[in-house]
């Protein structure tokens, strides 16, 4: 790299090298982003050091490299093998301290570690130990960002004037274009300067540079420097083919700006018109390819499908198999968006065959991720989990930068069908961080949905309210998914104003599927979300129409989870409408929805379905308990008495010992009681036990755990005394102390559980109070008026 505009930094490094040469030692961190010239500056420092007679050892930190960087350094310094050996395995702190002490005790040596922030913990710890010990050694490292070891030498971007040394023959406008496109980063500027040298025959070098400048933006981001350069080029006098390419690339680069949908469409349309007029198949293929990105929103799905087909034809005739494969994948995405899932699956299979033939491992990871998406869509959850795990492993091996995001999105699909509140809560920090990193692409809407799944409806509604306005005016690959997520929140929280606004936005896409990004996630037919919105808005006839459409779409796709969701929504709507044969349809919809949801373990659907006639429910729901008895529905905090009740109601007419209930399994052995107490003592003990039972009941009701522990301890002490007492007539009691303890504790816990149920579900509470018998042996004998059976 040319050392331009780095005189200050080079002077600082030269001064530090002098300190090392003088025996004082020095620790320096060269700090700057990728392309700022960190490696070049360390190389210059090495040259200065060698000229001063210092011994230089250097290493570039490579993640998962075969030889650890410190091992490379120590071997260059000819350190003994017994010192180096621990660094080849799992080095202890003592090992690292020994190495650091040895290095710090040397003189006349300079150690260079490039890209230290890419190193593992051992690499970074040893560097910090060496730096903290001082001594006469020199340690120069480079990092992209803090923390800093020793003193920092930050690398600032080049000024525009610095480019004169690189481009002496270029005019001021071209130099400025290079400076803008490179952001002043030396690495990028040098690469672009080489491009300029090769542009001598270009009709317009600035336009040519704009078309060649690499974009450094990630997915759903815009490289503002490239955008500015393209916009500069558009203001110049360009021939039609060049103008078509600049327009097409600008339209594609603006995908990262959700508010630019209308402009992207205008730019892409003008580019296509110019390309068709030029009659150049290569130009037409380039413009159509850019069009796929530019029109990546719900409005452009059919247009992109047509563009992909035309690109495939052009690629075949032009002998460009790579472009043909890419177009095939775009066809898959567009077909998914249009709800043509079976056709999309065929396109994906064709893409997979082509990728496998050429050994494109990154493409095969993408394919595996889409198979995982389809597996979730069809309710093959176990298969999906295996595929997601494979995506995580193989994506990392193939070097896919967005592997973690891809895996997170797929797990989000699983969460939507059968995840727990805890799963949703764990996803929230990741979603919030993603929303901060990619503003404007509606990750806040997904965050609102996750709050709802985590059992936080108030926070969900607040988060949805914050992002609703942005979503309503937005566009792009994630827009439809954001609208769907906000629709779920609006329906669940009864926000009819938001529901009405979202209904109007979603209505034009009633025949499409909610697909996010490159079809790495699918939420189901738009019609389903319209049905839910129409239902909460009281538009019941419209809701039935939408649910019927969603049902037909998902049945055609084999998407059983979507079928269950549509049936649940349809049943609620028909029940509320109550017209014609609605009652009959309700029962059929509920039966089918419950059958699918139970078969697949879809907690989200099962939670919204009413209990079938004659069946009551007492079951765990995450950390809570759910009680359903006909129209009654209650959610209760966890309490041991509820587990005892569940065991009883699932075994009607059977005696279950209290010790078995308490132990959650087999009973325990018996033991004899000890010596007697006299009658007055026994009476006093029993009176106090009665008082303690009442106090414990109050403590359980109020949730006073500390008081309950103290009372239970006193009660156990009294029971220990009574267990040593004799029975009636002075005969030795043979009841086991464990059985007596279980009788009292289980009885009290069951009675409190029934009281809590009665507070929220009176019918269920009354039935259980009349049907449950407690004591050393407990039993559930259902009285008339209860369920035919219980589900847990």
Q: Quick one: 260 and 283 in the same domain?
A: yes
Banded model confidence at residue 727, pLDDT cuts 50, 70, 90: very low
Residue 438 confidence (pLDDT): 77
Per-residue pLDDT tens over the stretch 388-444: 999 999 988 888 878 888 888 888 888 888 778 888 888 889 888 888 877 767 889
Radius of gyration, alpha carbons of the chain: 36
Number of domains observed in the structure of the chain = 5
Q: Quick one: 533 and 634 in the same domain?
A: no
- Please tell me the pTM assigned to this model: 0.70
Is residue 675 within 8 A of residue 727, CB to CB? The reply is no
Residue 711 confidence (pLDDT): 75
Q: Which domain holds residue 689?
A: 681-731
Residue 732 confidence (pLDDT): 39
Which is more confidently placed, 669 or 146? 146
| Mean predicted confidence (pLDDT) in 456-460 | 94
183 within a domain of the structure (yes/no):
yes
Query: The domain that contains 791 carries what CATH number?
Result: 1.10.10
Q: Quick one: 717 and 742 in the same domain?
A: no
Residue 74 confidence (pLDDT): 86
Which is more confidently placed, 501 or 259? 501
- Tell me: pLDDT of 112 over 90: yes
Q: Quick one: 464 and 566 in the same domain?
A: yes
Is residue 565 within 8 A of residue 605, CB to CB? The reply is yes
Rounded distance between C-alpha atoms, residue 105 and residue 77, angstroms: 13
| Mean predicted confidence (pLDDT) in 716-739 | 58
Which candidate, 189, 157, 187, 182, places its Cα nearest to that of 31? 157
Residue 700 confidence (pLDDT): 72
Rounded distance between C-alpha atoms, residue 719 and residue 692, angstroms: 11
Q: Quick one: 594 and 623 in the same domain?
A: no
Q: Could you count the other beta carbons within 10 Å of the beta carbon of residue 552?
A: 14
Q: Quick one: 37 and 184 in the same domain?
A: no
Residue 77 confidence (pLDDT): 82
Residue 296 confidence (pLDDT): 93
- Of the residues 101, 122, 154, which one is the last residue of a structural domain? 154
- Of the residues 586, 608, 630, which one is the last residue of a structural domain? 608
Rounded distance between C-alpha atoms, residue 516 and residue 658, angstroms: 54
Q: Quick one: 315 and 338 in the same domain?
A: yes
Per-residue pLDDT tens over the stretch 31-80: 998 888 999 999 999 999 999 999 999 998 887 667 888 888 888 888 77
Find how far residue 369's CA is from the centre of its chain: 14
- Pairing relation of β-strands 615-621 and 55-60? unpaired
Q: Quick one: 667 and 777 in the same domain?
A: yes
**What phi and psi values does residue 665 have, to the nearest 5 degrees?**
-170, -135
Q: Quick one: 368 and 440 in the same domain?
A: no
Q: Quick one: 222 and 367 in the same domain?
A: yes
**C-alpha pair distances (Å), 182 with each of 69, 157, 209, 228, 234:** 31, 9, 11, 11, 19
Which positions ≥6 away from 225 have C-beta within 8 Å?
180, 181, 182, 183, 213, 216
Is residue 178 within 8 A of residue 192, CB to CB? The reply is yes
Is residue 573 within 8 A of residue 547, CB to CB? The reply is yes
Per-residue pLDDT tens over the stretch 267-299: 999 999 999 999 999 999 999 999 999 999 999
Mean pLDDT over the full length of the chain: 87
| Mean predicted confidence (pLDDT) in 545-572 | 95
- Of the residues 354, 380, 406, which one is the last residue of a structural domain? 380
Q: Torsion-angle region of residue 759: left (phi > 0), alpha (psi -120 to 50) or beta?
A: alpha
Query: The domain that contains 328 carries what CATH number?
Result: 1.25.40.10
81 within a domain of the structure (yes/no):
yes
281 within a domain of the structure (yes/no):
yes
DSSP secondary structure of 25-53: -EEEEEE--TTSSHHHHHHHHHHHHHHTT
Q: What percent of the chain has pLDDT over 70?
A: 93
Q: Quick one: 136 and 204 in the same domain?
A: no
**C-alpha pair distances (Å), 603 with each of 175, 485, 521, 561:** 61, 18, 20, 11
259 within a domain of the structure (yes/no):
yes
Q: Quick one: 564 and 637 in the same domain?
A: no
Residue 575 confidence (pLDDT): 86
Per-residue pLDDT tens over the stretch 606-625: 888 876 667 888 988 777 88
Residue 620 confidence (pLDDT): 83
Tell me, letter by letter, the H, E, C secondary structure of 89-151: CCCCHHHHHHHHHHHHCCEEEEEEEECHHHCCHHHHHHHHHHHHHCCEEEEEEEECCCCCCCE
Sign of torsion over alpha carbons 688, 690, 693, 695: negative
């Amino acid at each position: 790299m040319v050392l331009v505009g780095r005189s200050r930094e080079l002077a600082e490094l030269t001064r530090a090298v002098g300190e090392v040469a003088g025996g004082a030692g020095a620790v320096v961190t060269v700090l700057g982003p990728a392309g700022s010239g960190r490696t070049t500056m360390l190389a210059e420092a090495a040259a200065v050091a060698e000229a001063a007679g210092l011994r230089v050892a250097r290493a570039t930190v490579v993640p998962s490299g075969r030889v650890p960087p410190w091992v490379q350094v120590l071997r260059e310094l000819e350190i003994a093998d017994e010192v180096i050996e621990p660094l080849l395995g799992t080095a202890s702190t003592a090992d690292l301290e020994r190495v650091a002490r040895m290095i710090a005790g040397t003189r006349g040596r300079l150690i260079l570690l490039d890209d230290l922030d890419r190193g593992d913990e051992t690499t970074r710890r040893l560097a910090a130990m060496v730096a903290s010990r001082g001594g006469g050694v020199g340690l120069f490292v480079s990092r992209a960002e803090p923390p800093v070891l020793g003193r920092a030498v930050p690398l600032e971007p080049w000024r525009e004037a610095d480019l004169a040394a690189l481009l002496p023959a270029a005019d001021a406008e071209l130099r400025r274009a290079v400076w803008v496109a490179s952001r002043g980063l030396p690495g990028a500027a040098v690469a672009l300067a080489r491009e300029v040298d090769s542009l001598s025959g270009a009709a317009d070098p600035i336009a040519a540079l704009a078309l060649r400048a690499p974009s450094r933006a990630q997915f759903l981001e815009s490289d503002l420097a490239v955008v500015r350069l393209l916009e500069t080029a558009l203001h110049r006098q360009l021939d039609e083919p060049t103008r078509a390419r600049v327009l097409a690339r600008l339209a594609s680069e603006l995908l990262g700006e959700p508010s630019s949908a209308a402009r992207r469409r205008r730019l892409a349309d003008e580019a296509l018109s110019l390309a068709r007029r030029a009659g150049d198949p290569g130009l037409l293929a380039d413009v159509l390819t850019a069009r796929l990105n530019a029109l990546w929103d719900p409005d452009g799905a059919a247009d992109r499908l047509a563009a992909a087909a035309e690109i495939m034809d052009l690629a075949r005739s032009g002998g460009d198999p790579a472009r043909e494969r890419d177009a095939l994948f775009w066809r898959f995405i567009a077909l998914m968006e249009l709800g043509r899932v079976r056709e999309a699956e065929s396109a994906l299979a064709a893409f997979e065959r082509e990728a496998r033939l050429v050994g494109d491992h990154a493409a095969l990871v993408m394919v595996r991720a889409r198979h995982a998406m389809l597996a979730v869509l069809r309710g093959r959850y176990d298969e999906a989990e295996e595929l997601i795990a494979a995506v995580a492993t193989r994506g990392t091996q193939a070097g896919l930068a967005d592997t973690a995001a891809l895996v997170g999105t797929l797990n989000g699909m699983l969460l939507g069908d059968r995840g727990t509140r805890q799963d949703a809560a764990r996803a929230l920090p990741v979603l919030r961080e993603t929303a901060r990193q990619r503003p404007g692409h509606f990750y806040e809407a997904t965050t609102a949905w996750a709050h709802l799944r985590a059992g936080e409806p108030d926070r969900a509604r607040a988060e949805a309210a914050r992002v609703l306005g942005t979503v309503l005016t937005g566009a792009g690959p994630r827009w439809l998914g954001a609208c769907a997520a906000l629709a779920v929140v609006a329906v669940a929280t009864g926000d009819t104003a938001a529901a009405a606004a979202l209904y109007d936005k979603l209505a034009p896409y009633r025949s499409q599927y909610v697909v996010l990004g490159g079809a790495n996630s699918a939420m189901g037919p738009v019609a389903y979300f319209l049905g839910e919105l129409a239902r909460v808005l009281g538009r019941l006839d419209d809701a039935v129409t939408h649910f019927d459409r969603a049902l037909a779409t998902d049945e055609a796709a084999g998407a059983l989870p979507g079928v269950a969701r549509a049936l649940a929504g349809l049943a609620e709507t028909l029940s509320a409408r109550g017209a014609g044969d609605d009652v009959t349809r309700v029962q059929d919809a509920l039966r089918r929805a419950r059958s699918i949801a139970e078969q697949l373990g879809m907690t989200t659907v099962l939670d919204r379905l009413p209990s079938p006639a004659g069946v009551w429910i007492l079951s765990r729901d995450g950390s809570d308990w759910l009680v359903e008895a006909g129209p009654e529905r209650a959610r209760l905090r966890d309490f041991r008495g509820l587990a005892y009740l569940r065991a009883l109601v699932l075994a009607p007419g059977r005696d279950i010992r209290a010790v078995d209930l308490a132990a959650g399994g087999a009973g325990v052995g018996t033991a004899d009681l000890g010596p007697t107490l006299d009658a007055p003592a026994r009476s006093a003990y029993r009176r106090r036990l009665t008082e303690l039972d009442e106090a414990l009941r109050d403590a359980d009701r109020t949730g006073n755990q500390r008081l309950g522990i103290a009372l239970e301890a006193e009660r156990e002490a009294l029971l220990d005394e009574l267990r040593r007492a004799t029975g009636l007539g002075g005969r030795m009691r043979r009841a086991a102390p464990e059985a007596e303890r279980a009788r009292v504790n289980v009885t009290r816990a069951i009675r409190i559980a029934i009281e809590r149920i009665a507070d929220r579900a009176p019918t269920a509470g009354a039935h259980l109070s009349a049907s449950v018998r407690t004591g050393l042996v407990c039993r559930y004998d259902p009285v008339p008026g209860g369920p035919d059976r219980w589900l847990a």
